[in-house]
Structure 1
């Protein structure tokens, strides 16, 4: 409804009446907006690779290291600053890699060695945030500070190293020294930065004849190391085999030695036993030795016993009868040996012995 009100000045003014409950609705809307703002600014999320610094009225108060959803006092009482503290970052020195293309930065890459030669060095520094508070408040531009500190450390180490050593065997040593100097600078300025590693991509002279000459020197040294490694590998292969063969020969010789000693001791014991019997009865022992020797050298010979006059003495061939009887049984024959056998023998005379007492002999 529009109401027109007149006045003494003769002017007419229009007064607009608000609908009932308007200010109540405005108050409710304001409260809802305030609640939404408070709710929106009271909760924050920390990702897996992040840590959050809590600021109360602009002053650092705490660090939230656990990932997930967290609560804080609404803005502007508390604020949150997130940093990738759990992420390993890389800083390139001497070059930049942009969109898959590598661009050389000469003012960072060119350095002077200890013997006043120019060298081209490219490096990568891997780092992480170890202290969020120091990282946010002790240095203004962390990446720029780290780049300048890395360049300073690299120039300091290479400046005290000869070119020949820097481009050949000294790369690993230079990396270690640069990392130590860079860590010392980070501790000195309390930057909150942890240096994970320093890796050199290339350390080489500038392009031209000098670079080619140094490459040939490097190739020759690598070939030398290869030959040394091959020779050492051959030594490692042959030496254990040679030691094994030598040990086998030694053990074989020791076994032969022990065998001969035992055989000799057995022979000595046997000789001593025979000698003891020989002392007791020399004639009997002598005849026994002769007979045993004949049995050993003529195992299939037939023995014919004669008397001293040269006439053959007939004897009963018991051994032949026993052999025939045994063969008859094995062949399934039903016949058996009976009667007497003739005293003649078909065997050839293989030896003659005379009895020492009454013509008796012992076989």
Structure 2
């Protein structure tokens, strides 16, 4: 049961035919009464995306891409975990564990796989090469869905450590954003044998007592947190309190699932208000399809129910790197992080990008990881 097994993705044509039938039979609501995105996804924008989904999108292209990377499954703690495993051809490559979040998947890393594993082919130095392990969170993508409670970030972090051990990596680093950040911070707290450092592109942290005098960085951090709570957090409250209910709606409607994710791709990315400025329609639909084809609306939302309280300060003594992308939903000052992380080896702000860092700005993401983890190479 502990064997690592190759996994080839081959979605039955009947499932794609069913998707097309559902798209053809969509019952659309009336148009929004406000302008732009003020009430959610504008009808004309979603209709255009769905029309392309029905008539121009090719799932088999995405399927071939994933199969080309090298997909695997292995049983850990009673769940079959899906992951990409791409080994570098370069000597001395550093093993790197990449963890996605919601509404992400392994798809969001597809642009950085080449540059990270084969730097010379992308204008880089072979000394910066990584072996990559990119798992799908339990309940997401092609990993199993937990059939019981208890699969929060703590248990996921333990499973990830077991995965790296099973693959034979006794010295590795880890990276994550969104839920991947929480899992990676938890890994840092657990400090499994072999983990030597972490990098994050999102960090949820706030001192219990802010005091009366906030510097400009702290003011920006508080403002970002309040904006998220007041404007952006409705989805999280639903998924953290009623994941099964929202799952019924999204599991039965591909258009509903698309709208649920399309809105976040727009709201959390550095796209000047237009998601198509940064993502192609194919890329957005690839991301949506990994939720639709796996029927994972409810199972992915349950991680909020399990672990919403896990975005909290935890003491981490392993080396930490952090990159602030300007349109990330949170913006913690370094002085707050220094109260939690005892070894900050890299802290940087870049000029472009948002919540989906590797998906939006792959070149910046790659350079940040190379710079951070050079400090930990033998």
Bigger strand share: 1
TM-score range, shorter chain: under 0.3
Larger radius of gyration: 1
